[in-house]
Amino acid sequence: MPELSPVLEAIDRDFDNSLDRLFELLRIKSISTDPAFKADCRTAAEWLAKDLKSIGFDAGVRDTEGHPMVVGHHDGPSPDAPHVLFYGHYDVQPVDPLSLWHDDPFDPAVKEVNGVRVITGRGSSDDKGQLMTFVEACRAYKAAHGAMPCRITVLFEGEEESGSPSLHPFLEANADELKADFAMVCDTGMWDAETPAITTGLRGLVGEEITIHAADRDLHSGVYGGAAANPIRILAKILADMHDETGRVTIPGFYDGVEETPEQIKQSWNKLGMTAEKFLGEIGLSIPSGETGRSVLELVWARPTAEFNGISGGYEGDGFKTVIASKASAKVSFRLVHKQDPEKIRAAFRAFVEARLPADCRVEFQKHGSGPAIQLAFDSPMVTSAKSALSDEWGKPAQVIAMGGSIPIVGDFQSKLGMDSLLVGFGLDDDRIHSPNEKYNISSFHKGQRSWARILDAIAS
């Protein structure tokens, strides 16, 4: 098998060029959730296909009902070499409120923030920076040895930030082409800026949007106030009813399928030394808002939530308007754990809302994406190899952790393609993904590339 050190040297030598390539990709405004950026999403897909071709991948842009996929294949050193499927997404979150960004979200730069060199811009961490660590590792392998260490298939989607509506049909239609020995997913984080991590638990997600309709027009609150239903009041009551005083979600059946985390896992998490003060202190808070009596790591890694992601109704402009709105709406999402069933929870939520609706009002539901929670083995050979490779690169033992966010693709790879995933990424909690001023550490981008080279090497050997 080929040597590793020329690959790592190629990465180091070519690092400035790899930054330039990432910047080109970051400049493309591929916001998938907003139809105004549809063409930009395709541009990002085309950019990636072209880049993969330049490394020798048989790659192309593949149309879907929504934003396109990018698929690329590269042969391994022999037909029986291991075959991995690498997944990432080229779409990014919206950037509002734009006024809170210190730099243009789509004009990336390297700058020093609190003594750390970082790449700024929307997508720098989630997920363009992350996916390019893998692409650059492949490029370096090719440069050093003219070949890949194993057979590699790449799948990049453009709808991860908007619920992946096209992913299921695409996986089903192309199952034979995409099936590999296992998947690698680079949409996760490190434990901290020095400590690499492999993620084996992921919360699931259900997204819902509800709109409460009351009167058939906006009303003057003087003329009708006290008599006419106010949809903001109805909505506030429904949302307020969703948690009890201990922070538990009150929707009937919500906790079906939720398991208590085994004591030894809780203990290993406790040993990580994370406190509520430390976890929340970084964002200006101090008091956990979830179920009382549980650690913050347990709350974000192993407990389900009901969150309100947006609310809107009535007069929201400057000044005051004594109006009773005709409607009010909220975006609600649930993070799921263990065996919670997304569609059962969606149905239970809808019944919960309908039970609280005055008979002369109506509710409109809009379905957003969903995916179950994932629990992967803590000790598969794949995890063991990757742990060792990551520990070599970072000089510290890699941690096996869980993650609060959802990566629905991991469930799809299990259920539709029968493969487990290795979840490795180099994001950090302070990367401000989904927020203004997203960044990705230069060390994540550089050592991330080197980490993938080491992981590919470990897999091939």
Phi, psi at residue 324, to the nearest 5°?
Answer: -110, 115
Residue closer to its own copies by CB (options 80, 360) is 360
Phi, psi at residue 11, to the nearest 5°?
Answer: -60, -45
What's the min distance (Å) between Cβ of 216 and its own copies?
3
What's the min distance (Å) between Cβ of 183 and its own copies?
19
- 54's CB contacts (< 8 A; 6+ apart) are none
What is the CA 238 to chain-centroid distance, rounded?
Answer: 28
Between CA 313 and CA 236 the distance in angstroms is 11
Residue closer to its own copies by CB (options 283, 377) is 283
Cβ atoms within 10 A of the Cβ of 90, count?
28
What's the min distance (Å) between Cβ of 365 and its own copies?
13
Tell me if 33 sits within 8 A of 94, measured CB to CB.
Answer: yes
Cβ atoms within 10 A of the Cβ of 227, count?
8
What's the min distance (Å) between Cβ of 440 and its own copies?
14
Residue closer to its own copies by CB (options 93, 166) is 93
What's the min distance (Å) between Cβ of 207 and its own copies?
5
What's the min distance (Å) between Cβ of 342 and its own copies?
14
What's the min distance (Å) between Cβ of 412 and its own copies?
17
Closest CA to 250 of 260, 235, 239: 239
Residue closer to its own copies by CB (options 75, 429) is 429
Residue closer to its own copies by CB (options 39, 283) is 283
What's the min distance (Å) between Cβ of 321 and its own copies?
6
What's the min distance (Å) between Cβ of 322 and its own copies?
6
Phi, psi at residue 334, to the nearest 5°?
Answer: -120, 130
Sign of the dihedral through C-alpha 117, 43, 171, 300? positive
Closest CA to 421 of 188, 76, 206: 188
Between CA 142 and CA 150 the distance in angstroms is 12
Strand partners, 159: none
Residue closer to its own copies by CB (options 5, 275) is 275
Between CA 400 and CA 416 the distance in angstroms is 25
Where b means 16+ CB within 10 Å and e means fewer, 285-315 reads eeebebbeebbbbbbbbbbbbbeeeeeebbe
Residue closer to its own copies by CB (options 119, 324) is 324
What token pair was written down for 187?
């949409």
Residue closer to its own copies by CB (options 105, 149) is 105
Between CA 140 and CA 1 the distance in angstroms is 16
